[in-house]
Structure 1
Amino acid sequence: MKSSDTGNSAELIEMLRQDAVEKYKEEHGWIPTADRLPNQREFIESYVRSAYAAEFLATIEGADKATTLYYSQTGVWFDEQGEPYKVVAWMPLPERYKG
């Protein structure tokens, strides 16, 4: 195997990983924090909706159920009392029901 083959393999593996992450998001909506955190656009959109802080649906490490938490641009997930949490996955809040 040539060294150039190794580079191509690494690129292919990264491309396949990204495709798998995108497919997972499309099917489940959850974004693992190991893959990425909310970007600037997602943060601002969420902040505008909440008018208090950027709020997301989150899965806390070790929890059985999802909950809503706030996210700061410093990378901290916290509740209404300011308690920090270790989040393993997140997603934007769905639109409100308009009946």
Structure 2
Amino acid sequence: MYAIGLIEVNGFVTAVEALDAMLKTANVEFVTWEKKLGGRLVTIIVKGDVSAVEEAILNGKIKADNITRTVAYAVIPNPHQETIKMVNISAKSYLKQMVVR
């Protein structure tokens, strides 16, 4: 079953470390990220099988908590189509930022 996982952390460095841990420990794919409050809060979204996403989020949380702290996290198994649409809007925004630079 397909799932998406979200983890929100304090700071860009923590986000990169958490994402690296998630990608190295589970078979998940990075979808997008959101920066809020000037980058003080960063939300990372990954996707994959439910068990892989759960493992990735757990490992990302452990890594983030070793640096600063995890603000929030969630695993959404079998997300509703409207939820996927919202994530895709975020991902398109991320891609536009990358193309401009």
TM-score range, shorter chain: under 0.3
Calculate the TM-score normalised by the size of structure 1. Answer: 0.25
Higher strand content, 1 or 2: 2
Which structure dedicates a bigger proportion of its chain to helix? 2
State the structure with bigger RCO (CA 8 A, min sep 6), 1 or 2. Answer: 2
